[in-house]
Chain A
Amino acid sequence: MSEVMTILRREFLERVRSKSFVLGTFLFPVFMGAMWIIPATMGQGGGTRKIVIVDQAPAGVGTIVEQVLTHPQPAADGKKDDEAFTYVVERQARPLAEVRAGLIRRIQAKELDGWLYLPPDVVGTSKAEYRARNVAQFRVLGDLSRATSRAVQAARLQASGIAPAQVAALVKPVELGTARITSKGEEGGTAQSAFWLSYIAGLLTYMMILLYGMNVLRSVLEEKTNKIAEVLVSSIKASHLMLGKILGVGSVALLQVAVWAAITATISSRSGMLTKRFGLPADAFSTVHVPLGTLLATLAFFVLGFFLYAAVYAALGAAVNSEQEAQQFQILVMLPLIVPIAFIIRIVTDPLGKIATVLGLIPFTAPVTMAMRLASAPVPPVQIFASLAGMVVTVLAVAWVAGKIYRVGILSTGKKPSLAELGRWLRMA
């Protein structure tokens, strides 16, 4: 086994010593941090909208709309909502036809964002109109629709004889607070932080497996095209060579993940200081508390997933003669890795649903899928163990086949093999 160590050591040191590794390891967190901090410091979404209410509605409706828009209720949990808009409202009582041209001019001159038309029969028809420069801001549309609905509902309640004082209490909307429940009871964390954690865990697993899988491919190709393979194979068994290579590249990936984990841990332990320095809301770093077992399971899926794809990439590297040739096949290898990314929203928002469960049990899609599921929901342990067991079996089977292709492939030259030839290699090796 000492020869496996020699191969492992070379693969590890050559990569870790390279500038690209050092840059990648330290620039990536900086990049991620920037993605987090820059939008947070840039006015935190939201903004101010200036709106004219063309109020032809019965007395009182326009007033309530204005009031709801300009004096929003504070959130139920007392947190500041980063995405909220503030509204400056101006009311017009003249008919729309008279003021329309003037309003359009003001919108064109950017003095105004839009107008809300409350027709005389709004209480009966429940129809109002909004015209603006930008009608794709769903948050604004939601705010307007909610405010108008409340005003109209209030008008209707009053018409049916309920005292104005009671109306406000009757139409008070419900604020939905969210928190995540794990198998150990409530662990806190908002829906949003669980979403992001799950999202990042999936993307990171995908990225690392792809990146380091290609690393294995490139390393195999280097030895093949530079004819180093012959000397190596005369000193060491091909299967040991492949094992050492995959373990070596894999330890680089783990080292990188460990460095990132350490950086993340350091940052979250000083989140108070950082939020103050960057002027972020106090809960900017609040994340879901992830139990150790889940972390270990995620790590196991990552390691097995890497082995699985690394073995496939090693065989691919041995079968082709150049990176150009490899590119034609890479998409086939990547495809099962991409599937969970294509379903990322489905899996992240419904981690215990059908799609997430099925993709989590298929060995080739499991690593990325399970990384997302484990981060956001209490996945049943039966599923975790079943998926891990399936992966172990698959890794062994794939490594066995890949090892055979690898053994013949690294010494072969000339045109790339057809599928029939690959079959022959399998029987031969």
Chain B
Amino acid sequence: MNDALTLDGVSKRYSGHTAVDDLSLAVPRGTIYGILGPNGAGKSTTLRMVMNILARDSGRISLLGADPAADRTVLRRVGFLPEERGVYRKMKVTDVIVFFAELKGVDRRTARANAGQWLERMGLGDWKQARVEMLSKGMQQKVQFIATVIHDPELLILDEPQTGLDPVNQEVLRDTMLNARDQGKTVIFSTHNMEQAEQLCEHVCIIAQGRKVLDGRLRDVRRENMGNRWYVEFDGASEQAERLMRDTSRFGAAQPHGDGWRVDLAPGADPRALMQALAGLDVPVTRFGREQKSLHEIFIDRVGNAGTPQRRPEVAHV
């Protein structure tokens, strides 16, 4: 019962198209969990089923220990930021936030006080009484983010939270997510940007075309998908060294990378052969080490370019 969210064989089918196919995953409490995949992979559909916005066709979902389809009240302990943003444009900023807090069961006075604090923290202190439509897009997104977290949820579910944010606000968002994690909360977010996920997540789940490609602790995922890639850097230029690197017949493909070379050994090849060859060169080796693959590369390794989206469903089904 230590997981904030578990999915067990969850599927969602539309006429002639499976959006989510037999997906199982577990999100440990107190972590930042990334659901990664290209556009159309089924990330939003999965999160919508978790939030009981869509009904699943099969499988089990346990959200904070309850099935959201059977027990709606559990959703009050969750903060959800949908992929497509929007708030009431004619309402005043504070009123919007208080309204969403009240819907989650927060009493009005508390909500008002907390809204004020959040607005100050997010640099919107001067806009408390402004109408939402007067705000820039970025500011409106901040307002919506505050509306997502105003009821102090145990679990944050953010669908593509970075889209539309400038670098400064992406930083603000990152800090808020890390902050929430440090307070013992769980953060689940989806993204198609693998680099962002690498910086933030402790756990990831990569999905493509509705199916899980891999999941687990980011550290483990990296180790398990280590491959046989090595990095070599020489102290100065050497014709002999260059010849060795360019000769693909001995150690496989090597490419200049930064100040050195990246060598992809054949799977199962012993790196000691390479080390011996390097030792016989006329220049000293200053760096030699194993290289981890980026998430993006792991993803490409696993699904190739087949992870591109199918058509999107035109109508959402409840």
Contacts and interface: CB of A to CB of B under 8 A. Distances in A.
Given A3-B103, A6-B99, A414-B315, A234 B87 contact: no
Contacts of A421: 315
From A6, A14, A225, A236, name the one whose CB has the most chain B CB atoms within 10 angstroms: A6
B53 A227 contact: no
B260 interface: no
A7 B316 CA distance: 23
Interface in A379-429: 407-408, 411-415, 417, 421, 428-429
B86 A6 contact: no
Contacts of A10: 91, 95, 99
Given A231-B82, A234-B51, A413 B75 contact: no
Nearest to A414: B314
From A3, A234, A238, name the one whose CB has the most chain B CB atoms within 10 angstroms: A234
Give the interface SS of chain B, mostly helix, strand, loop or mixed.
Answer: loop
Contact of A235 (B85, B95, B104): B104
A237 interface: yes
Interface in A266-293: none
Interface string A197-229: 000000000000000000000000010011110
B315 A234 contact: no
A261 B100 CA distance: 35
Interface residues of A, number: 32
Contact of A412 (B84, B88, B99, B315): B315
Given A226-B88, A227-B86, A237 B318 contact: no
Nearest to B315: A412
From A18, A230, A407, A411, name the one whose CB has the most chain B CB atoms within 10 angstroms: A230
A428 B86 CA distance: 27
Nearest to B151: A235
Contact of A407 (B51, B102, B103, B318): B318
Interface in A1-38: 2-3, 6-7, 10, 14, 18
Nearest to A3: B103
Contacts of B88: 14, 222, 226, 228
Contacts of A231: 80, 82, 100, 147-148
A333 interface: no
From B52, B80, B91, B316, name the one whose CB has the most chain A CB atoms within 10 angstroms: B316
A237 B85 contact: no
B316 A226 contact: no
A411 B86 contact: no
Contacts of B95: 10
B86 A228 contact: yes
A127 to B, nearest CB: 70
A341 to B, nearest CB: 32
A233 interface: yes
Interface of A: 2-3, 6-7, 10, 14, 18, 222, 225-228, 230-238, 407-408, 411-415, 417, 421, 428-429
- The 5 A-B pairs with the shortest beta carbon distances in the complex, nearest first, are A226-B86, A414-B314, A227-B84, A227-B86, A234-B51
30 contacts: A3-B103, A6-B99, A6-B103, A7-B103, A10-B99, A14-B88, A14-B91, A222-B88, A222-B89, A225-B86, A226-B86, A226-B87, A230-B48, A230-B80, A230-B82, A230-B84, A231-B147, A234-B75, A234-B80, A235-B76, A235-B100, A238-B318, A408-B315, A408-B316, A408-B317, A411-B318, A413-B315, A414-B314, A414-B315, A421-B315
Interface of B: 48, 51-54, 72, 75-76, 78, 80, 82, 84-91, 95, 99-100, 102-105, 147-148, 314-318
Given A6-B102, A231-B147, 14 more contacts: A14-B90, A18-B90, A225-B86, A226-B89, A230-B48, A230-B53, A230-B80, A233-B53, A234-B52, A234-B53, A235-B103, A408-B318, A411-B318, A414-B315
